[in-house]
Amino acid sequence: MSRAKAVTVCAVLAIVMIGRPMSAGPLRVLDLDGRLVDPLAPAPGVRATVFVFVTTDCPIANRYAPEIQRLTSIFASQGVRFWLVYANPHEPPASIRNHLRQFQYAIPALRDPEHALVRFTKVTVSPEAAVVDPGGVLLYHGRIDDRWVNIGRDRPSPTRADLAEALRAILDGKAVAQSATPAVGCILSDFLR
């Protein structure tokens, strides 16, 4: 009985997913002034959109701040648009602004209080990245690189730059070799409790 119900739910989800790229309408994503934003709205020259999910107090996400900023400066000139997505609904815009200043971010920030974007991009932790093409198709989601193997277990330096490799493939018009990788960080679903 319950199994049959699960199948129905999946089917409904699948319809929604197929419908998603047509319009960003249902995504309730806010800017720091509380205005609804459609981060997937087509924009001239944008070849891919990257969402990097963070929270102000996740140590792993914060430690990636210089790397996130570095990747932005490399890829922004090649038609890649970056958004920082603050995924903890309990963080008010004022502390987010403060966080952006403190970590010297020069990337536009969004709030995702209902985790609409979290669900759409299938991310689970902070920091995690997702890449979406101009048609709204999810091309990559997962870690920025493989520095963290687990909570509390990290390499002296990463051996794979997963996000950068995905972006290079996309810009070269190739398929992303690994479209999903496991990310390590602060679990986002808890914040909706």
Partner 1 sequence: MSRGAWTALLLLASTTMAAAPQAPATTFARDIAPLMYEACASCHREGGPAPFSLITYDQVRRRATQIAQVTGRHFMPPWKAEPESGDFVGQRRLSAREIQRIRQWVEAGAPEGDPRDLPRRPTWPDGWLLGTPDLVVTLEAPYTLSATSTDVFRIFAIPLPVAATRFVRGIEFHPGNARVVHHANIRIDATPASRRLDAADPSPGYDGLMPRSATYPEGHFLGWTPGQVAPLVPSDLAWRLEPGSDLVVQLHMQPSGAVEEVKPSIGLFFGHDPPRHTPTILRLGSQSIDIPPGEPRYVIKDAYTLPVDVDVLAVQPHAHYRAREIKGIATLPDGSTRWMMHITDWDFRWQHVYREVAPIALPKGTVLSMEYTFDNSAENVRNPQLPPARVSWGQRSQDEMGDLWFQLLARSDRDRATLARDVNRKMTAEDVIGYETMLRTSPGDTELHDDVALLYLGLGRPADAVPHFAASAAITPHSAAALYNLGTALAAASRLDEAAVALRQALEINPGSAAASANLGAVVLQQGHVVEAVKYLEEAIRLDPGNLQGLNALSSAYAASGRFDRAVAIADAALRLAPPGPLADEIRSRRDAYFRNLKPRPRAADEP
How far apart, in Å, are the Cα atoms of 52 and each of 49, 72, 128, 130, 133? 10, 10, 6, 7, 15
Question: Nearer Cβ to partner 1, position 40 or 54?
Answer: 54
Q: Which of residues 13-72 bind partner 1 (CB under 8 A)?
A: 57-59, 61-67
Question: Nearer Cβ to partner 1, position 35 or 101?
Answer: 101
**# chain residues binding partner 1, by CB under 8 A:** 32
Q: For the chain, how are helix, strand and coil distributed in percent, rounded to 5?
A: 35, 20, 40
Min dist. Cβ of residue 35 to partner 1 (A): 26
The token pair that represents 121 in the structure block: 């991009």
Instruction: Annotate 29-44 with DSSP letters as a single string.
Output: EE-TTS-EE-TTS--T
Question: Nearer Cβ to partner 1, position 67 or 170?
Answer: 67
Question: Nearer Cβ to partner 1, position 40 or 87?
Answer: 87
Spacing of C-alpha 124 from chain mean position: 9
Bond preceding residue 127 cis, omega within 30 of 0: yes
What is the rounded end-to-end Cα distance, in angstroms, of the chain? 28
Instruction: Pick the stretch among 9-17, 18-26, 128-136, 149-157 that binds partner 1 (CB under 8 A).
Output: 149-157
- Residue from 151, 160, 177, 178 touching partner 1 (CB under 8 A): that is 151
Indicate whether 106 belongs to the interface with partner 1 (CB under 8 A).
no
Indicate whether 186 belongs to the interface with partner 1 (CB under 8 A).
yes
